[in-house]
A and B are shown apart, each in its own frame.
Chain A
Amino acid sequence: MKKLFELLDRYLIPVMTKLSEQRHLRAIRDGIISTIPLIIVGSFFMIIAFPPIPALAAMVKPYANQILLPFRFTMGLMALYACHSIGYHLAKSYNLDGVSGGLLALAAFFLTSVPVSMENKGLALLMENLGGGGMFVAIIMAIFAVEVLRFAKERKLTIRMPEGVPDSVARSFEALIPAALIIPAVWLVRDVVGFDIQQFVMGLFQPLVLAGNSLAGVLTPIILITLLWATGIHGDSVVGTVARPIWLVLLDQNIAAAAAGQPIPNIAPEPFFQWFVWIGGSGATIGLVFLMLRSRSPYLRSVGKATLLPGICNINEPVIFGVPVMLNPLLFVPFLVGPVVAGTLTYFAMQLELVTKPYILVPWTLPAPIGAYLATGGDWRAMVLVLVNISIVTGLYYPFFKAYERKLLSEEANLIQEEAR
């Protein structure tokens, strides 16, 4: 077991952390995270438009379209918001003007669309491509735009303002030449050559999205995240850097289907992991916390008491570093196996349509049964599944917890004996 931790430390951790700290991936992560509040508040309107109580649902049904508008302008335009903030964060990471980066990214992204002519009403932009479906296009165009901005700055292809011009004015002119490069370039490719960038990119990433929704695509992030946390590294933030765009596309497809009254297609957007796997935090440590509350070891009991409330809110750093679970060979097994079992079980329960697939993003600090209920648009069976998962992981932790408890008790007894001597 010690050897395993050494191997992880030598091979997995450096690769994973380097990947997650790569500049462009970091900008994507920070950019997408900035849009999460809009997505959470926006998808809340989904619950209002389709409440889980039938009588209420019938009452609001005539107004569903109006109620859904805030959702359509947040979640429905997700790629647009993400594009701007990815451009902003990437530009910032190069010490360039963030606002210019965000605006150039937006312009490049918009230019991949072709407006549709509406009779008597002018031109219209299809919202479809500005939501989750356009996420990968948004990411690529944001990177392209900011790289051009950086290239221009490095080659000194900027218009320099005379001394005395305010800084903010001068900075905005720095984007003039990059804009003159980006806009014609995208226009040439999209509208003159007629190459459909959106269709091409979506096709390119389609296999990745499909893979993310398979059982292997569910278990891979689960295993990687627990392995990282087992060595005390924030697994979710590392793995999420790469996986979150895919999770968001899956979520967007689900929520769009739900809004259109169609069956929900995908099992594995992020709420799948949040509510059914990471119960009490990564590693499904809520089971461990419950066991500690009644431990014979005074130390574990006090850790249990102190970590119960944060654990219910899915914050488990105190468990991981306090127990500790980190680098603990005894607790490593249930820490890894528990989430794998919970994930597999949930996957099949949803595939067999015993439980609704999640399609709503709610704040991750809610207690898991409530979060699962809301994320599935109010399916009580989701709560039952969470409770089943909790009992399974608690059972899995039990023998290993007992062994660790014995070890601690004998250490505590030795300590007392030594002090008595």
Chain B
Amino acid sequence: MMKVLLVCSGGMSSAIVVKAIEKEAEREGLSMVVKSVGTGELAEELKNGWNLVLVAPQVRHRLDELRQKASVHNVPVALIPPQGYSPLGGAIVLAEIKKLGS
């Protein structure tokens, strides 16, 4: 099962996107674990084994730093397209996840 971790500044706004992705995944009958964390918790959370880290657009200026943290655990990191980062963007992000996961 695919495990996707979303990172934003405080883990708040990405929680909204997590819900959107979960809803979309359920609609497509995909089983998937999605969780949101703030940038401060990323290093700790990565120890729990994730397949993919998605970074919120508003913290893209910290991408290098986040990528470094994920590389310790060999987890690929990608940016969430801005237009997908909303309660209505579930389909866009899910398509991105499928593209990256395959």
Contact = CB atoms under 8 A, between A and B. Distances in A.
A303 B88 contact: yes
A310 to B, nearest CB: 6
B83 A232 contact: no
Contacts of A318: 13, 16, 85-87
A307 B89 CA distance: 12
Contacts of A320: 58
Interface string B81-102: 0111111110000000000000
A21 B89 contact: no
A238 B59 CA distance: 9
Interface stretch (B24-32, B46-54, B60-68): B60-68
A319 B89 CA distance: 12
B87 to A, nearest CB: 4
Contacts of B9: 234, 236-237
Q: Is the interface of A mostly helix, strand, loop or mixed?
A: helix
A310 B61 contact: no
Nearest to B82: A321
Interface string A16-33: 010011000000001001
Contacts of B60: 232-233
Q: Is the interface of B mostly helix, strand, loop or mixed?
A: helix
A326 B85 CA distance: 12
A322 interface: yes
A365 interface: yes
A321 B83 contact: yes
B56 interface: yes
A33 B58 contact: no
B82 A232 contact: yes
Interface residues of A, number: 28
Contacts of A21: 61-62, 65
A306 B86 contact: yes
A270 interface: no
Given A315-B12, A317-B16, A17 B85 contact: no
B40 interface: yes
Contacts of A238: 61
Nearest to B39: A237
A233 B13 contact: no
A330 interface: no
Contacts of A30: 40
A360 B53 CA distance: 36
A322 B62 CA distance: 22
B87 A307 contact: yes
Contacts of B56: 317
A324 B8 CA distance: 18
B13 A232 contact: no
A414 B57 CA distance: 30
A232 B82 CA distance: 8
Contacts of A33: 40
A302 interface: yes
A13 interface: yes
A318 B60 CA distance: 16
Contacts of A365: 12
Contacts of A237: 9, 59
A233 B83 CA distance: 14
Given A318-B13, A324-B82, A233 B8 contact: no
A317 B8 contact: yes
29 contacts: A13-B61, A17-B62, A20-B61, A21-B62, A33-B40, A232-B58, A234-B8, A234-B58, A234-B59, A234-B61, A236-B9, A238-B61, A303-B88, A306-B86, A307-B87, A310-B13, A310-B16, A317-B13, A317-B56, A318-B87, A320-B58, A321-B58, A321-B83, A321-B86, A322-B86, A322-B88, A324-B82, A324-B83, A365-B12
Interface of B: 8-9, 12-13, 16, 40, 56-62, 65, 82-89
Given A234-B9, A237-B9, A321-B57, 14 more contacts: A17-B61, A21-B61, A232-B57, A232-B58, A232-B82, A233-B61, A237-B59, A303-B86, A310-B13, A315-B16, A317-B56, A322-B87, A322-B89, A326-B57
